[in-house]
Structure 1
Amino acid sequence: MPLTPEMVLECTNEYHKAIDRMYKLLLITTEKLESELKRHNIMARVSGRLKTRDSLSRKLTKWSKDDKKSGIFHSKHDVFAIVGDLAAVRVMTYVEQDRERVAAIAREIFTHRPGCDDFEYEVKESSARIKNDDTNHYRATHMQIRLRPSDLNEKSDNLNDDHCELQITSMLAHVWNEIEHDIVYKGDKSILSDDETSALESLGLLTKTGDNIIVNLINANVRREANEKRKLVMASEEITSADALSDALHEFYGEAIFGSSFDFWKNNGALFAALKYLDLTYPKDILAVLSPSHVLGVRKTELQSFKRFCDRYRYAKPAVAKDTCDLFLLALIAKHWTELAKQKHQGMGPKPRQLAFATRWEAFVSSRS
């Protein structure tokens, strides 16, 4: 059944009757994306829009002149399955490099249309139409997404078959995309004046330069905030408990250390005891001996060797726990093992964790000499 003017009107009216349902789809999808972006610490803005009745009518009228597109419509209900952007959600990242991260998140939290395992993923600037046009600076990643059945309830189970278009672009690219869409895409590119063409070209080049400036700005902001945090932590009062030590280390290093999730509270007692034995109880002294460069150096060059040494000589307990205060303890021992190995062991029980690691480290160093 071709897309006759009557069919275009029927499809448009059918979509308009479902506008509340499509708005509900848009709302749930937007909220899920915003929540996940926040959880992954991705700086971005999320917006959504529904296609207007007039816009859909113009699109279908244009398709009616294309035999291939016109021929796939069989009834007015096909408008929901065939038109991919009735509902569209746009994620505008602060930096260009986050586009693929957002796409990966979308693959995790949404599902795809039946038979489209790749989410109809498309990097627009890689298409021949844009790639072969030096004046076209459109940059965006498009996907088709659907809500997972687990996200639906009795109030939203009518969304099971609906889908929307996900558009991922950087904020600066979004500016060019929108202006180009209004001036060129909806009009006739051939009638643009030289000034319009030149301005669009200059704006496109500026957005790419601006992406680099934003990256530098964000990195400078992170460095400044880290420096301010360091000063604040170092100015703190004497640390008098293991938990206070963990709080200070967490405040200084942040949620993750060297790219890994880190438990600043596990095995903190042994670290605090070792620092107290060395009379290092003020933040400025602790962070001087446990500097990021030193801790990273121990993690990269010594930790695995020490673990292999312990396995070879059957030092089973206590075992070094990955991504805990044991890393800081070993970094401390690497500098002060001679003093820490001299601690007196009281009682008949097993050696305290800090003493056990220090004496092993002493043997570890001797084995390498």
Structure 2
Amino acid sequence: MIDGSTSPYLVLYPDRVAAAYRALGAALPGARIRYAVKATPVPEVLLALAAAGAEFDVASPGEIELCLGLGIAPELLCYGNTVKKAAQIAGAHARGVRRYAFDTADDLRRIARHAPGAEVECRFLPATPPSRTPFGGKFGCAPGEVAPLLTMARDLGLVPAGPYFHVGSQQTDPAAWRIGLEQAGRIAGELAAAGIPVRSVNIGGGLPIPYAEPAPGLAELGAVITAAAREHLPPGTALVVEPGRALTGAAGELHCEVVAVRIAPDGRRWVYLDVGRYSGLAETENEYIVYRIATERDGDPRTEAVLAGPTCDGDDVLYQCTRILLPVTLRAGDRVRILDAGAYTASYASVSFNGFPPLTVHVTGAEREWVQS
């Protein structure tokens, strides 16, 4: 039973996750859906997706152990992080993981040495429009490097799966996937010339959800992706998609309360919540993600406010440039809900920054409570 006196806390609804999985499957029929565990690494969420038929993108030994500990078969896991140590590759291989992503020759050699015979995907950096939360240049080789690297993979005894790209998190321009698939199609042609058939093309994640601003729906995105794949990829090429927030974002609500309200010397109203950037709302950095906010006083007149977290850190401010309208009657102790907060909240919450406890997570329909630790 949820204890409403303990604030803040996140409530997750696994039935919403399963519904989002079905909706994505309908929008991309035949695609392999590989859930990005980092988005919401909660056991009940992973079990709901496993029951629905998902694969899993894991980025660390901890995520591998979490999945395996829940009885998820290692064949369903892909070590998708291109930044990993030799010991981590060896450990994953020893636990039965046989799929890996890479974007450098050095990482490829490590995989060949410590995970012999594994299937590999080569991640490239696509020339796509910027997303709401971009990766910058952290991941991905140049498109022209993919065919030589996958040829090298074959020569090292690995199994080349195909190219892999990611259009950036919360990507709201459907053209991004068309551009990425066009580039992947050219790479597939280069591989075919080298005698290497493309088994699959991994189009990554980035599928958006509507927050305070609208976003294209799955049906629209699916139509664009399906048409581009049909046009640019060899017949029979499997599509792999790695959603995170598209499956879990709308499946969670963050419950919190107002700690204080003040009028600053410059005349701006500041509203302080008991949850902030370090307790789950890291995606408000640079105000990239603007959540919808509901209060008990939403029928009252509203004016602009700066919204901030509770810690003694000057960066713990959620929104001061984005125009946030909140009821003028908000007072300390008022309850607030942050909507569509199911993704990248529990996983981003610090353990005890500034002495604040970790974020509590309640899962509806579960007999127990899962707490970030």
The higher relative CO (CA closer than 8 Å, separation ≥ 6) is in: 2
Which has the larger share of strand? Answer: 2
TM range (shorter): under 0.3
TM superposition score normalised by structure 2: 0.22
TM superposition score normalised by structure 1: 0.22
